[in-house]
Every structure is written in C-alpha cells, then in structure tokens.
Amino acid sequence: MKTYLECISCFFKQALEAGRMAGADDKTQKKILDEVARAIPDIKLSSTPPEMGKTIHDIVKKITGQKDPYKALKEKATEQTLEIYPELRKQVDSSDDKLLMAVELAIAGNIIDYGTKNSLNVEKELNKILQKEQRVIEKEKESIFDFKSFKNALSDAKSILYIGDNVGETVFDSILLEQIKKIDKHKKIVYAVREKPIINDALKEDAIEAGIDNFAEIISSGSEVPGTIIPLCSKSFVDIFKKSDMVISKGQGNYETLSEEKRATFFLFMAKCPVIANHAYCEVGDFILLCNYPSSYEKN
Amino acid sequence: MKTYLECISCFFKQALEAGRMAGADDKTQKKILDEVARAIPDIKLSSTPPEMGKTIHDIVKKITGQKDPYKALKEKATEQTLEIYPELRKQVDSSDDKLLMAVELAIAGNIIDYGTKNSLNVEKELNKILQKEQRVIEKEKESIFDFKSFKNALSDAKSILYIGDNVGETVFDSILLEQIKKIDKHKKIVYAVREKPIINDALKEDAIEAGIDNFAEIISSGSEVPGTIIPLCSKSFVDIFKKSDMVISKGQGNYETLSEEKRATFFLFMAKCPVIANHAYCEVGDFILLCNYPSSYEKN
C-alpha cells in the first residue's frame, strides 16, 4: 500500500508519542518533529507507510539516544496479556467454533498497537475485548471476513508462515496457533518477528515469553521496519514466505507492506485509521480477515 | 495560548484540506505539505496556533493561486443557515430564558468551522443542533459556562464589541445580537470581522448577508489570521477593544489569540480539539462561555 497524503499528519503524531515514550523533554520533542519535517519533502508516496515509520523511529532513537523507547511498555503488555490468558483460553474452550473464536481473539489482540493508536490504555482495551458484546465480529461481512477461505486453506496447508506484529498480541496469536495445531499436530508453523526494536513490534524474546515456541519455530524476518518489506527481508525468510503452503499476516503494518505482493496471504487485523479502512473497503474498527488471492482457496 | 507540539500534526491536516478545497491535484497537495514541513522548524511555540494557521493558508494560496479557497463553501454555509434561521428564532421565542437560548445557539453555531473540524458536513451538524437533545449545554458546569457573569456584564454594558468567527455562525450571532438589543435598544454594538479571506472566517459581506447590520456596526479588525492578534490589528479596532464596556469573542481561534490579553473578555465557543480542551479545563465538544477576568463582573 502506498503512502497517502493523510499519513503525513499521522507521522508527526507518531513521532511525538515516540519522543515522549523515550523520555524526551519539550525542547527535544520539538527537535524530533523538526527533523521529521525535514524528511517530509523526500518521502516517496509510492513507498509504504512503514518505511517512513522506520525513518521516524530512527530519528527518535538518534536524537534521544534510546534504542528501544517502547521497552517498558512492551514488558507490561506481555505481562498484562499473560494475566488474561486463562480467560481467553476459557472463551475458546467454551465456544461452539473454537477455531473461529481463536481467529476473532487473534484479531482483537491487534488492538495493542502503539504505532497507530496513540496513548493506548492496554488494560482498558483488553477488558473491552473480554466483554463479548464489545467485540464487533463481522461474520456476515464476507468480503472483509473470509473465514471460509481461511478454513479451507488451513485444512490443506502442511507448512504455515505466521507473521507476527505487536508484543502482547503475541499471546493472542499463541491461542490461534494452538487451535491450528489441534487440526493436525504435524503442521509445520514458522512464526516470524522483527529483527530489531521498532515501536512495540514483537522480537524473538517477546514471542518466546508469549509461549509461541510451544507451537511454532520462531524466526526473524530480517525486517527493521514496522511491517514486512520483502526486498528488505532476509533471504531465508523470503524463501519461507515463497514456499509455505499458507501465509498468515497479522496487523496493519504487515498488511500495508504485503498486500500487493504476488502470493496468497491471509491478513488478520483491526482497521485502525481511515486511510487503511478506505484501502480495505471497510470501516475503522472493523475486524478484518481477508486474502489477497481468495480464489486460490475456493472449494465447494 | 501558545502552540502545543500536538498542533503540528493538525497543521498538516489543515493544509491538506485547504489544498483540496482549492482544487489542487495530488502532486500540488504534496507540494503544499512539503512547504508546510519546511516552515515547521521556524515555528515559535510561544506564538499562537492561528499565526501558523496564516502561514499554512498563505502557502496554499501561493501554490494554488486561489485567493479564497473556501469561497463556495462560505456561500453555502450562509445559505444553509439562513434557511434554518426561522426555526432558530422559533426556538428562542418559545424558550423560558430567551437570552440563554440565544447564547446556547450562538455557541452551537461555532460548529461551522473548517479550520479545526475536517470534512465538516454542515447540513448534518446543523440538523443535530436543532435537535434539542443533541445539544449538551453545560449549565451546571459554572466554571466553563458562566452565564451569570455574562448576564451581569450585559446588563451594565453600554458599548459592546462582538468579535465574529466563521461564516454561517454569523447567522447564529445575529440571533444573540437581537436578544441583546431587546435588553436595551440603545446599547451600541460593534461586530468585528477579518480583514482578508482566511479559511471560512467571516468578512464584512458575510456579516451583512447574515443580517448582522440590523443590530450592530460591522467593522474589520484588520486581522488576516484566523484569530485576533492585537499587535497585528488595526489601531481603530484596538481602540474599540480597549474602550468597550464588554467584549464578546466567538470561536476557538479568537480564544487562542485573546485569552491572555489583559482585558476582561467573554469567550463563547465549542471546544473542538484535545489541546484546547486541556487549556480550558473542559472536554472536547463542551459548550464554553467563560470570562478571563470573571471577578470584573461579580455581583450579589
């Protein structure tokens, strides 16, 4: 997905939040915004928003000297989501369609995103998720919630690449991975994370803390942006991306960078801004489960 | 009020909307945003947001060659509000406290603001205003709705300066002006407008079309910013500002530029963004009627 002109104001919001997260004082925050402003004329609108995301967060890291401004918040996110893990499991176990419930929760977990949602109160948001009536599941909107194709693809896939997104969300992912393994324990799942700290995106250690290693092999995609830009990923990751029977991509950043790749991918995310909603023909807040090449998985 | 770091992302939203309003194509819109970005490092945070507002809209005018990008929308706003004028009058006439109702409507009219609220649907917003239950009038929140001091000030004032804000809102203002004249037809009211087109702010001709001249003398403040910066206003306006028994200031831009002036002023506006809400100790969407020196008008 290209960068829209609407994204530019959002870049400044993100830079300000990241600067504050890094403990910058007012003067330093202004310095960060000035530096972002200087980078604006060089933006290629044909590039994806996460590329500019990296530029912004590199500026914040350079000016504040903080290599991982979201570290404390990431630790809290894992802790908080692990606390509610038993309840999440219970919801799945008591559900008529366990796979569907696990998919819904995996998407709900995508609410934990500091890149697009400023000043997020994780605790409050997670409580909302646990209140069933608050989750707007779009089962009837088949165009944006294509569970049928997803289920078809899963039943056939022997090898699955699952591209993770944010810390905390990883705990929700582990619940879906467990359900996938229950379909067939011999399915080989690879769970990909970012190479270096960027916003609150998950790294290897975050995936391990969330228990992902019980169900999948954890690898780095080589990506240093808050998304997955194939030409900038490691060769070994790209091989897996190409050869896996099924690819599951979590979150908005991965959607923004992978939606136009020429391989069938299932995108699971919450639509968090009007630009993405417009691009995916949905509303802000919608739960999205869509495949860029759904016909690959059509069955009767 | 100073410019907050949060205002910077909003400047880009405003620039994009103004560029589109001026009919700029995508490439020209990007050019506008690049030019705004180049101006960011020179912003003094001690200056008020409307000063940067002028810079932004000057850039849009220069790059697009459009001197008044909001002209068509302003004409529509006057037309639409004049259409509902009879209903507004009826609401006041059937009210127990006519002055209070006129004040509430004058504040409600401040919703017509393209500077802070992007892609405003005036028709929809005005319909909301006319549905009584939609108007959240904060009569009980005396700290932000000080009708008592306002009434006291009005009863004594022989000369009143009323500083207008947006086109369309002017029609709502005329209803309040009429009620003020009913208290005492000898009160001398001066209604001030901007000197040159800036966003959808009212000029002399807009005030006349709204019928303001039936109740007040219309003058230009000399201001070319979407607010009222005293050192940049005309000498004749500043004299009136200083000498009037009472000053009524409409809208957020006038509040941002006048709230720290050392003269008692009544500010009537809707709080439209978190920055202003924080500054005025209120919530976004609140109806504000406050005086910066309320003690001037205390009575037993």
Query: Across residues B120-144, what is the average pLDDT?
Result: 58
Q: Are residues B215 and B269 in the same domain?
A: yes
CB of B9 less than 8 A from some CB of A: yes
**What DSSP character marks residue A110?**
G
Contact call for residues A163 and A104 (beta carbons, < 8 A): no
Average pLDDT over residues A156-170: 96
Question: How many Å apart are CA B287 and CA A286, to the nearest integer?
Answer: 32
Which residues of B fall within a CB distance of 8 Å from A16? 5-6, 8-9
**One domain, residues A282 and A254:** yes
Tell me: the pLDDT tens digits for A183-220? Answer: 999 999 999 999 999 999 999 999 999 999 999 999 99
Candidates A299, A300, A289; CA nearest to A265 is A289
- Of B11, B34, B41, which has the smallest distance from its Cβ to A41's Cβ? B34
Contact check, Cβ <8 Å, A10/B10: no
Residue of higher predicted confidence among B119 and B195: B195
Q: In Å, how far is A61's CA from the nearest CA of chain B?
A: 19
pLDDT at A201: 96
What does the pLDDT read at residue A135?
46
Confidence of residue A139 (pLDDT cuts 50, 70, 90): very low
Residues A191 and A170 in one domain: yes
- For residue B249, the surrounding DSSP H or E stretch is strand B246-250
How far is Cα A251 from Cα A166, in angstroms, rounded to an integer?
A: 8
Tokens 């992912």 label which residue? Answer: A173
Considering only CB atoms, B5 lies closest to which of A8, A30, A45, namely A30
A48 and A82: one domain? no
A4 touching B, CB under 8 A? no
Token pair belonging to A74:
């990431």
- B85 touches A at CB < 8 Å: no
A16·B30 Cβ contact <8 A: no
Q: Which two tokens stand for residue B21?
A: 């309003």
User: Given CB atoms, is A5 within the 8 Å cutoff of chain B?
Assistant: yes
Helices (H), chain A: 5-21, 26-39, 49-64, 71-93, 98-108, 122-130, 147-156, 169-183, 204-209, 235-243, 252-258, 274-279
Q: Is the pLDDT of residue A160 over 60?
A: yes
Same domain for A241 and A165, yes or no, is: yes
Query: For residues B25 and A109, what is the distance between their CA atoms, to the nearest angstrom?
Result: 38
Contacts of A295 (CB under 8 A, 6+ apart): none
Whether B296 contacts B276, CB under 8 Å: no
Report CA-CA distances (Å) from B78 to B102, B120, B205, B206, B210: 18, 15, 11, 8, 7
Chain B neighbors of A29, CB-CB under 8 A? 5
Q: What is the pLDDT of residues B40-96, one digit of tens each?
A: 999 999 999 999 999 999 999 999 999 999 999 999 889 988 998 998 999 899 999
Q: What is the mean pLDDT of residues B129-155?
A: 72
**Angle at the Cα of A156 (from A154 to A158), degrees rounded to 5?**
85
A6 at interface of B, judged by CB pairs closer than 8 A: yes
The chain A residue lying nearest B19, using CA atoms, is A5
Residue B42 sits in the same domain as residue B187: no
Chain A residue with the nearest C-alpha to that of B13: A9
Q: Do B9 and A10 touch (CB under 8 A)?
A: yes
Instruction: Look at residue B220 in the predicted model and tell me its pLDDT.
Output: 98
Chain-chain contact of B30 with A6 (C-beta, under 8 angstroms) = no
Q: What CA dihedral angle connects A212, A214, A215 and A219, to 10 degrees?
A: 50
Domain of residue A12: give its range: 5-64
Q: Using CB atoms, which residue from B6, B8, B37 is nearest to A41? A: B37
Chain B residue with Cα closest to A10: B9
A119 touches chain B (CB under 8 A): no
Mean per-residue pLDDT over chain A, rounded: 90
**CA pair distance B7, B3, nearest whole angstrom:** 6
Which chain A positions have a beta carbon within 8 Å of B6's beta carbon? 13, 16
Residues A160 and A235 in one domain: yes
Q: Could you tell me the two tokens for B263?
A: 């003269």
Q: Is the predicted pLDDT of residue B115 greater than 60, yes or no?
A: no
Cβ–Cβ below 8 Å for B13 and A12: no
Give the mean pLDDT of A80-105.
92
Closest-approach residue (CA) in chain B for A25: B5
User: Tokens standing for B13?
Assistant: 């939203």
Q: Can you give the pLDDT at residue B128? A: 63
CA distance B285 to A245: 51
Boundary residue ending a domain (A64, A87, A109) = A64
Interacting residues of A121 by C-beta distance below 8 A, sequence separation 6+: none
Sheet of A246-250, strands arranged across: A217-220, A188-193, A159-163, A246-250, A266-270, A287-291
The whole-number pLDDT of residue A283 equals 87
H or E element in which residue B289 lies: strand B287-291
Concatenated DSSP letters of B133-198:
GG----TT-TTTB-HHHHHHHHHH-SEEEEE--BTTHHHHHHHHHHHHHHH-TT-EEEEEE-SS--
Is B271 in contact with B280 (CB distance < 8 Å)? yes
**Domain end residue (candidates: A64, A85, A106):** A64
- Residues of chain A neighbouring B47 (CB-CB closer than 8 A): none
Q: Could you give phi then psi for residue A97, rounded to 5 degrees?
A: -115, 95
CB-nearest to B9 from A13, A26, A45 is A13
Under an 8 A CB cutoff, do B9 and A6 touch? no
Q: Which residues of A touch B16 (CB under 8 A)?
A: 5-6, 8-9
Rounded to an integer, what distance in angstroms lies between the CA atom of residue B107 and that of residue B102? 9
Q: How far is A7 from chain B (nearest CA, A)?
A: 9
β-pairing verdict for B159-163 and B188-193: parallel
What would the pLDDT profile of A100-119 be if each residue is shown by its tens digit?
Answer: 999 999 998 888 766 555 44
pLDDT tens column, A242-251: 999 999 999 9
Q: Which of B186, B13, B209, B29 minimizes the C-alpha distance to B115?
A: B13
Give me the residue from B5, B6, B12 closest to A8, CB to CB. Answer: B12
Mean pLDDT of B222-235: 97
Q: 3-state DSSP helix/strand/coil percent for chain A, to nearest 5?
A: 55, 10, 35
The one-letter amino acid at A116: T
- Residues A174, A220 within the same domain: yes
Q: Which residue in chain A is spatially nearest to B10 when comparing CA positions?
A: A9
Whether the CB-CB separation of A33 and A239 falls below 8 Å is answered with no
Mean pLDDT of chain B: 90
Beta strands at A266-270 and B188-193: parallel, antiparallel or unpaired: unpaired
Q: Are residues A202 and A221 in the same domain?
A: yes
ipTM: 0.88
Q: Which of B2, B4, B7, B9 should one mutate to test binding to chain A, selecting the residue with the greatest count of A CBs within 10 A?
A: B9
Q: Whole-prediction pTM value?
A: 0.89
Which chain A residue has the Cα nearest residue B39? A37
Q: What is the mean pLDDT of residues B194-219?
A: 97
Which residue(s) pair with B159 in the sheet?
A: B188
Q: Do A45 and B30 touch (CB under 8 A)?
A: yes
- Rounded Cα–Cα distance for residues A151 and A180 (Å): 10
For residues A16 and A107, membership in a common domain is answered with no
Interchain proximity B30–A5, CB inside 8 Å: yes
Are residues B83 and B39 part of one domain?
A: no
Tokens of residue B114, six digits: 């393209």
Query: CATH no. for residue B171?
Result: 3.40.50.10880
> Is B136 an interface residue toward A (CB < 8 Å)?
no
Same domain for A60 and A75? no
Question: pLDDT tens digit string along A58-85?
Answer: 999 999 999 999 999 999 889 988 998 9
Cα(A247)–Cα(A296) distance, rounded to whole angstroms?
A: 12
pLDDT score at B143: 74
- Looking at residue A118, its pLDDT comes to 42
Chain A contact for B183, CB < 8 A? Answer: no
- Give the torsion through C-alpha atoms of A25, B292, B55, A48, to 10 deg: 50
Cα-based angle A225, A226, A230 (whole degrees, multiple of 5): 55
Which of A5, A16, A40 is facing B5, going by the closest CB pair?
A16
Domain end among B42, B64, B86: B64
Structurally, how many domains does chain B consist of? 2
Instruction: Locate B134 and state its tokens.
Output: 């939609």
Question: Can you give the pLDDT at residue A255?
Answer: 97
Asked if A160 and A246 touch (Cβ cutoff 8 Å), the reply is: yes
**CB-nearest partner of B5 from A6, A8, A29:** A29
